[in-house]
Chain A
């Protein structure tokens, strides 16, 4: 391994060095500063005679006398089942004072694309215990379903609630402990120490840490390291899922910080910027992360992703949520208005969507009436939402009886169905029963999206049950 003291330029997170051998694209570099500190980096561009290196820890302390070593390999993540229960930094080094990690394998973090022919279509329902998700935007194993939030919203609480409660119903019944176990991999990118503490406390309180691997890149850690953290996380997830048969739930927070880091590197390389200064290849880059969710034929495990992103200005046309929405299989919106009304979790189901829902629910999977109930509640809630605008102008008295029923429905939907609290775990049966309580507030003829046989079976003919709901309103 050759060592060079040939740094010619230092700019932002980038270092340019002259070399006299062929250096591979994406290769790992170690830079030793005059003070004896070792920094790590990655080759971003390799030309004859000169390479551009992106330094993870930032370039401060590097001068032209620093020595550069090329390790001759691309970045690897040491993986083993023993990672469960451990806390690592954003580059995969343990920070929990635990024993040294003896890796079973070292895997390339870039990760090759899964052959679409080898994938298995995700259609196994994951019960999160959250009505707004299970009932209306069902999550399935191998899906990537982001939470679209904004600053100051309780998205972390929602993510924690899902991580805590998520289970696959069939497994509970069979009690099959030997088979596929559940594991959570938590990847933090640029979150504050305070947020990190909340997550850690929750993990420790609920004992979830045992089945978790935590990667922490905090707000004051080097920004460039953030581009590596999710790849470390997903490499670990793929290993546990596809080689050790775990059902892995990956929570990545906050993708906005990841994208900011991408932009920083792009700017330092003087690339032609795309929309709002983000690099033109951000779609491809994000896809290379999100598409690592899924199932593979003949493998027991699965990788399910819940990335969290805070939309700048609560604007979902911003490039980060926009590109994310085009790659992921739906999205869950956390809504500031619902939050200020005190709804827990403040999920706005109208713009939320789970693309894989239709294949993961229904007879034999959840309950036969699930799809109809969900569609009907969507339509009714949307109609009620519309009428609220009108009420502001003409008042409730000016509206017909039918319209008033829809207004009541929309109110009850929020308070009874969505607002369940961050600590309540509702099973699907309960969620759907509440759904029928609410739908029964509407006249039977209005239920045009539910098959007649289910209306026969579940519609509350008896007014008394409805009264309960209305009284609670």
Chain B
């Protein structure tokens, strides 16, 4: 049920019992997943179980004071979102109620109950510009016109995918430019269908697409360790598991800020209120690296913080992915960040245990794996029903209890996603950020993305990456020996490898998210930084071979300047000069 619809109800029932967010009602005529209004205050809920005459409802609001005997009204519609212009630069709760509108309606900074608002402003007028003419043939999902939603994004008005059958077409009977609100008809089809800027879609059902394709373009994030070692594709899936304090949220925020997607949908699922506030305050001021516009102009936020009702936390992931799919249908590349999918799984667990379902592993419901898979399967690189191509990339943070990756949510997620960024508490403790463990992480997109990097950055991108991985691997092995005998006991060449690896770790893999320059590193800079370290490596080994003692090589004055490449704005010049200095200094030793 979408809030933009009238709230006509059918088949009333009566509350029989209340236990936290779970309410049972009797005599309610309802189907599974129907939206209902519970109690005298009309709290929004969804049908999750039907047994004989008893219907069980999960309620999206606090249920204190609600008691048996109060009415339950059925709307007869599944939980849906309102889709249309106005979703960007907006902040929603888990069932797409705009939080700014709620604040005004409630007149209080606290979230009151029983207040509802449509997901998009129904009265705001948009300047509609037709892209088709009367007489043109259109099929389902076809674009009939655009409105400028924000400075960055043109919102495409489409024939709803359920208005026509798969291969059915219709002629445009009428279409007009002008100012319209989202409920007014902007185009009429020959079969009588009236197209408005407003669509609604049930959140638990994927929007249709024509075809899913293999993703071949990277989602460039401006984060060295991600772009350089473990890239994700546009339309790919990734998981970021890590214990608390390891930097999940900062990584997600960095991606939301700098990933080169057209649209960002950020779902704060059961996380901290202050973190969402940070996004709300920062994003309007931050610049989109692609065009200099405010970041909020491409962002839609869904905030269901940990203290907001648990049932709405269960639904917020679906709300987010449905919005993402809608922009995908317009041909945009959408990136969805979900922080954190563990809270979502816990919400399922909480509801499941109140339903007294038989628990699976660690109390999670037996359908946990299936739900996770369904969610990540809604991501991908698609050919849309209207022939355009668009993608949804899904990046989920995972919060394993005690940082133990063997728990069910992490394990079931890893079975689905193709990129794994493992956060590491040890690295975080020594303030190595982003604290992504390079030994444990992986990306299965690496090979299919290499051609893009070769074409757009440098031909030897894959070789350079492999070189870095090899040095880091060797360091890991050598460190085990160092732990036993000390560094000085190693032969000279191995000591030198350790030194090179140290620069890889400290200069290349570490990146300061809070430094104005270092926070975003374009792939060209990532590449140059790596080649600078390689220059040092090659020159140093040449020197060693020529008989220069390793201590002297390590003490070379110019080399520590590698650590400052990250903060250079004019990095090209800096790198060139540095490479020359390193070469010259090392060669002067022999």
Residues on A lying within 8 angstroms of B by beta carbon are: 21-27, 44-48, 73-74, 108, 110-122, 142-143, 242, 271-275, 280-281, 283-284, 287-288, 290-292, 294, 296-297, 299, 316-319, 322-323, 325-327, 329-331, 350-351, 353, 355-356, 358-359, 371, 375, 378-379, 382-383, 389-390, 393-394, 398-400, 403, 445, 448-449
Question: With contacts A110-B62, A394-B485, A398-B486 known, is A22 near B307, CB below 8 A?
Answer: no
B506 on the interface (CB 8 Å rule)?
A: yes
Question: With contacts A25-B63, A326-B399, A327-B272 known, is A116 near B305, CB below 8 A?
Answer: yes
The one of A73, A371, A382 that contacts B430, using a Cβ cutoff of 8 Å:
A382
Chain B residues whose CB sits within 8 angstroms of the CB of A73 once the complex forms: 65
B246 to A, closest residue via Cβ: A353
- Interface segment, one of B103-111, B444-452, B465-473: B103-111
A74 touches B64 (CB 8 A): yes
Q: What sequence of 0s and 1s flags, for each residue 230-249 of chain B, a beta carbon within 8 Å of any chain A beta carbon?
A: 00000000000001110000
B111 touches A24 (CB 8 A): no
Chain B residues whose CB sits within 8 angstroms of the CB of A114 once the complex forms: 109-111, 273, 307
B69 touches A22 (CB 8 A): yes
B17 touches A296 (CB 8 A): no
Max chain A Cβ within 10 angstroms of own Cβ: one of B63, B308, B399: B308
A117 touches B307 (CB 8 A): no
Chain A residues whose CB sits within 8 angstroms of the CB of B67 once the complex forms: 22-25, 27, 46
Shortest Cβ gap from B368 to chain A (Å): 13
A280 touches B346 (CB 8 A): yes
Shortest Cβ gap from B119 to chain A (Å): 15
Shortest Cβ gap from B242 to chain A (Å): 11
- Interface segment, one of B135-143, B326-334, B349-357, B527-535: B349-357
Chain B residues whose CB sits within 8 angstroms of the CB of A117 once the complex forms: 91, 99-100, 102-103, 280, 303
Chain A residues whose CB sits within 8 angstroms of the CB of B349 once the complex forms: 274, 280
The one of B281, B359, B430, B506 that contacts A272, using a Cβ cutoff of 8 Å:
B359
Identify 4 new A-B residue pairs, CB closer than 8 A, beyond the known A45-B19, A272-B356, A378-B429. A25-B67, A117-B103, A322-B244, A400-B487
The one of B306, B363, B483 that contacts A284, using a Cβ cutoff of 8 Å:
B306
Shortest Cβ gap from B514 to chain A (Å): 5
Chain B residues whose CB sits within 8 angstroms of the CB of A45 once the complex forms: 17-19
B306 touches A23 (CB 8 A): no
Chain B residues whose CB sits within 8 angstroms of the CB of A25 once the complex forms: 18-20, 63-67
Question: With contacts A283-B306, A317-B401 known, is A272 near B100, CB below 8 A?
Answer: no
Bound: A382/B433 CA distance, A: 14
Max chain B Cβ within 10 angstroms of own Cβ: one of A27, A280, A390: A280
Shortest Cβ gap from A28 to chain B (Å): 11
Bound: A296/B103 CA distance, A: 12
Question: With contacts A48-B69, A122-B274 known, is A281 near B103, CB below 8 A?
Answer: no
**Number of B interface residues in the complex (CB < 8 A):** 79
B245 touches A330 (CB 8 A): yes
Bound: A44/B20 CA distance, A: 8
Bound: A296/B102 CA distance, A: 15
B455 on the interface (CB 8 Å rule)?
A: no
Listed by A's residue number, 18 A-B pairs whose Cβ atoms lie within 8 Å are A47-B16, A115-B111, A117-B91, A117-B99, A119-B276, A275-B363, A281-B350, A283-B346, A287-B305, A291-B306, A294-B273, A351-B245, A351-B425, A359-B278, A371-B514, A378-B429, A382-B429, A399-B488
Shortest Cβ gap from A187 to chain B (Å): 18
Q: Please report which residues of chain B, range 71-117, place their CB below 8 angstroms from some CB of chain A when the two chains form the complex.
A: 91, 99-100, 102-103, 106, 109-113
Question: With contacts A23-B68, A280-B363, A448-B563 known, is A48 near B17, CB below 8 A?
Answer: yes
Chain B residues whose CB sits within 8 angstroms of the CB of A116 once the complex forms: 91, 99, 268, 273, 276-277, 280, 303, 305
A378 to B, closest residue via Cβ: B431
B483 touches A24 (CB 8 A): no
Bound: A66/B557 CA distance, A: 85
Question: With contacts A118-B109, A329-B272 known, is A110 near B68, CB below 8 A?
Answer: no
A383 touches B430 (CB 8 A): yes
Bound: A355/B16 CA distance, A: 44
Question: With contacts A115-B99, A448-B506 known, is A390 near B486, CB below 8 A?
Answer: yes
Shortest Cβ gap from B529 to chain A (Å): 14
Bound: A330/B310 CA distance, A: 23
A376 to B, closest residue via Cβ: B431
Chain A residues whose CB sits within 8 angstroms of the CB of B432 once the complex forms: 379
Chain A residues whose CB sits within 8 angstroms of the CB of B103 once the complex forms: 115, 117-118
The one of A112, A287, A319 that contacts B111, using a Cβ cutoff of 8 Å:
A112
B403 on the interface (CB 8 Å rule)?
A: yes
Q: Please report which residues of chain B, range 122-181, place their CB below 8 angstroms from some CB of chain A when the two chains form the complex.
A: none
B111 touches A113 (CB 8 A): yes
Q: Please report which residues of chain B, range 307-324, place their CB below 8 angstroms from some CB of chain A when the two chains form the complex.
A: 307-308, 310
B307 touches A47 (CB 8 A): no
A292 touches B307 (CB 8 A): yes
Chain B residues whose CB sits within 8 angstroms of the CB of A272 once the complex forms: 353, 356, 359, 363
Bound: A287/B305 CA distance, A: 9
Shortest Cβ gap from B401 to chain A (Å): 5
Bound: A118/B483 CA distance, A: 52
Shortest Cβ gap from A227 to chain B (Å): 14
Chain A residues whose CB sits within 8 angstroms of the CB of B102 once the complex forms: 115, 117
Shortest Cβ gap from B560 to chain A (Å): 5
Bound: A112/B110 CA distance, A: 6
A291 touches B278 (CB 8 A): no
B343 on the interface (CB 8 Å rule)?
A: yes
B49 on the interface (CB 8 Å rule)?
A: no
The 6 lowest CB-CB distance pairs between A and B, nearest first, are: A317-B402, A287-B306, A47-B17, A382-B430, A118-B109, A22-B69
Chain A residues whose CB sits within 8 angstroms of the CB of B276 once the complex forms: 116, 119
Bound: A389/B426 CA distance, A: 15
Chain B residues whose CB sits within 8 angstroms of the CB of A271 once the complex forms: 353
A23 to B, closest residue via Cβ: B67
Chain B residues whose CB sits within 8 angstroms of the CB of A448 once the complex forms: 506, 560, 563-564
A380 to B, closest residue via Cβ: B430
A394 touches B486 (CB 8 A): yes
Chain A residues whose CB sits within 8 angstroms of the CB of B194 once the complex forms: none
Shortest Cβ gap from A67 to chain B (Å): 20
Chain B residues whose CB sits within 8 angstroms of the CB of A353 once the complex forms: 245, 428
B274 touches A294 (CB 8 A): yes
Bound: A378/B19 CA distance, A: 47
Question: With contacts A327-B272, A351-B429 known, is A115 near B359, CB below 8 A?
Answer: no
A273 to B, closest residue via Cβ: B363
B68 touches A291 (CB 8 A): no
A24 touches B65 (CB 8 A): yes
Bound: A113/B309 CA distance, A: 9
Bound: A121/B281 CA distance, A: 8
A317 touches B403 (CB 8 A): yes
Shortest Cβ gap from B2 to chain A (Å): 21
B404 on the interface (CB 8 Å rule)?
A: yes
Question: With contacts A25-B63, A115-B110 known, is A288 near B307, CB below 8 A?
Answer: yes
Bound: A393/B487 CA distance, A: 12
Max chain A Cβ within 10 angstroms of own Cβ: one of B106, B245, B280: B245
A47 to B, closest residue via Cβ: B17
Chain B residues whose CB sits within 8 angstroms of the CB of A275 once the complex forms: 362-363, 401
B484 on the interface (CB 8 Å rule)?
A: yes
Shortest Cβ gap from A454 to chain B (Å): 13
Max chain B Cβ within 10 angstroms of own Cβ: one of A326, A351, A383: A326
A358 touches B514 (CB 8 A): yes
B489 on the interface (CB 8 Å rule)?
A: yes
B346 touches A325 (CB 8 A): no
Chain B residues whose CB sits within 8 angstroms of the CB of A355 once the complex forms: 245
Bound: A112/B64 CA distance, A: 11
Chain A residues whose CB sits within 8 angstroms of the CB of B560 once the complex forms: 445, 448
Bound: A375/B506 CA distance, A: 13
Shortest Cβ gap from B513 to chain A (Å): 8
The one of A26, A121, A327 that contacts B64, using a Cβ cutoff of 8 Å:
A26
Shortest Cβ gap from B279 to chain A (Å): 9
